[in-house]
């Protein structure tokens, strides 16, 4: 049997955060349920960030109320959290659901100071300090923690990132007590060579006590149609967990530059193709994933049509 790879669907979060229009909350819930039914291992359902910063996801609490009714067994629901306030939002959502609806949170920082400031109004060191109470609360409530590092290949404001800078931030997050690392090529600048170099450097730095490649997820944006090749390199280096976004949606609203909107994530279907081509398997039902892609495209189309021009 080919070895199975873990697939996290970040479309409802990364996919919708950069859309010009609002997708209605019940439609988001339908999208999450359709993705879960397709068999992905995890769905990143939303963000508990400031609605002033990301209004598209300002309905996180209302969405969780809708999702509480019928969460499928065997799928992890996760949500982004930037600070203690966001963590309290997650705990309230779980309390209202009467169970652990959100199983995992994602804290996020960067390997670039400029991006950290633009995205979170804080230096890298300040973001790490913000995460301390978040990780403590997560531990107390049995919630897992994913630690994102953005700009692992390049920063939209500072240019190329040194692999050693990524390894340093990764180490700080592991020391803080995150359960896993998610390495984000935020602007999709990666090539097989640069992603390979970055991963090799990070994995060398993560000694056995940190769990090595088993702790690492790769989060690729697909600007130049090279993300699938980078998935292959990740697999060769022992990575067995990848993020994708339904229909290739996605992008960080704070990674755009005047000439360029932030690029979408690798489409989940393209991610599965790359995984299969490399001789690995997954548990996703392609037909159901196709239904989810059609739904996502319809919802985003309707939201764009209704967005102010």
Residues binding ligand HMG (CB under 6 A) = 14, 17, 47-54, 80, 82-83, 85-86, 89, 108, 119-121, 148, 150, 184, 186, 219, 221, 252, 254
- Provide the 3-class DSSP secondary structure of residue 4: strand
What is the distance between the alpha carbons of residues 116 and 113, in angstroms, rounded to a whole number? 5
Binding part of the chain for Mg ion, among 12-20, 76-84, 124-132, 207-215 by CB under 5 A, reads 12-20
Closest CA to 150 of 62, 277, 252: 252
User: For 190-229, b where at least 16 C-beta lie within 10 A, e where not — what string?
Assistant: bebebbbebbebbbebbeeebeeeebbbbbbbbbeebbbb
Pair 143, 106: CB distance under 8 Å: no
Decide if residue 59 touches Mg ion (CB under 5 A): no
CA angle, corner 122, sides to 118 and 128, nearest 5?
Answer: 125
Binding part of the chain for Mg ion, among 6-14, 92-100, 119-127, 293-301 by CB under 5 A, reads 6-14
Phi, psi of 91 (to 5 degrees): -65, -40
Binding partner of residue 120 among Mg ion, ligand HMG, none, CB under 5 to 8 Å per kind?
Answer: ligand HMG
Question: Between residues 80 and 231, which has the closer beta carbon with respect to ligand HMG?
Answer: 80
Question: Between residues 53 and 157, which has the closer beta carbon with respect to ligand HMG?
Answer: 53
Phi, psi of 247 (to 5 degrees): 60, 20
What is the distance between the alpha carbons of residues 236 and 278, in angstroms, rounded to a whole number? 9
What is the distance between the alpha carbons of residues 204 and 200, in angstroms, rounded to a whole number? 6
What is the distance between the alpha carbons of residues 206 and 203, in angstroms, rounded to a whole number? 5
Question: Between residues 166 and 233, which has the closer beta carbon with respect to ligand HMG?
Answer: 166
Least distance to ligand HMG, CB of residue 260, Å:
15
Indicate which residue of 64, 155, 230, 252 is catalytic: 252
Who's near 195: CB < 8 A, 6+ residues apart? 153, 185, 218, 220, 230, 233, 234
Binding partner of residue 150 among ligand HMG, Mg ion, none, CB under 5 to 8 Å per kind?
Answer: ligand HMG
Least distance to ligand HMG, CB of residue 186, Å:
3
Annotation says 230 is catalytic: no
Tokens of 272: 């599965």
Least distance to Mg ion, CB of residue 306, Å:
24
Least distance to ligand HMG, CB of residue 286, Å:
25
Residue nearest to Mg ion (CB): 14
Question: Between residues 59 and 185, which has the closer beta carbon with respect to Mg ion?
Answer: 185
Question: Between residues 47 and 194, which has the closer beta carbon with respect to ligand HMG?
Answer: 47
What is the distance between the alpha carbons of residues 118 and 135, in angstroms, rounded to a whole number? 23
Give the total of residues touching Mg ion (CB under 5 A). Answer: 1
Binding part of the chain for Mg ion, among 7-15, 111-119, 125-133, 267-275 by CB under 5 A, reads 7-15
Binding part of the chain for Mg ion, among 8-16, 103-111, 154-162, 171-179 by CB under 5 A, reads 8-16
Element (DSSP H or E) covering residue 243: strand 241-244
> Using the rule CB under 5 A, which residue among 14, 42, 44, 180 binds Mg ion?
14
Binding partner of residue 60 among ligand HMG, Mg ion, none, CB under 5 to 8 Å per kind?
Answer: none
User: For 257-296, b where at least 16 C-beta lie within 10 A, e where not — what string?
Assistant: eeeeebbbbbbbbbbbebbeebebebebeeebbeebbebb
Question: Between residues 12 and 89, which has the closer beta carbon with respect to ligand HMG?
Answer: 89
Binding site for Mg ion (CB under 5 A): 14
For the annotated catalytic residues, the residue numbers are 252
């Amino acid at each position: 049997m080919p070895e199975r790879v873990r697939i996290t669907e970040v479309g409802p979060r990364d996919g919708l955060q950069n859309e010009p229009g609002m997708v209605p909350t019940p439609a988001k819930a339908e999208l999450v349920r359709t993705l879960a039914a397709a068999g992905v291992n995890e769905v990143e359902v939303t963000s508990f960030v400031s609605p002033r910063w990301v209004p598209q996801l300002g309905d996180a609490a209302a969405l969780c109320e809708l999702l509480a009714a019928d969460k499928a067994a065997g799928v992890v629901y996760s949500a982004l959290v930037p600070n203690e306030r966001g963590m309290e939002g997650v705990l309230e959502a779980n309390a209202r659901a009467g169970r652990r609806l959100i199983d995992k949170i994602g804290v996020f920082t960067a390997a670039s100071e400029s991006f950290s400031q633009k995205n979170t109004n804080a230096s890298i060191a300040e973001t790490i300090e913000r995460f301390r109470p978040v990780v403590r609360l997560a531990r107390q409530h049995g919630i897992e923690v994913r630690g994102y590092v953005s700009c692992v290949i390049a920063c939209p404001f500072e240019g190329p990132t040194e692999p050693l800078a990524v390894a340093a931030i990764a180490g700080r997050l592991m020391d803080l007590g995150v359960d896993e690392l998610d390495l984000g090529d935020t602007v999709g600048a990666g090539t097989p060579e640069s992603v390979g170099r970055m991963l090799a450097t990070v994995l060398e730095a993560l000694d056995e006590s940190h769990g090595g490649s088993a702790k690492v997820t790769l989060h690729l944006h697909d600007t130049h149609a090279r993300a699938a090749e980078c998935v292959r390199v990740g697999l060769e280096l022992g990575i067995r967990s990848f993020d994708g976004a339904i229909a290739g949606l996605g992008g960080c609203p704070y990674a755009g530059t005047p000439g360029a909107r932030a690029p979408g994530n690798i489409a989940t279907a393209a991610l599965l193709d790359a995984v299969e081509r490399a001789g690995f398997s997954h548990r996703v039902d392609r037909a159901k994933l196709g239904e989810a892609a059609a739904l996502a495209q319809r919802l985003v189309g309707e939201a764009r049509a209704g967005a102010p021009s």
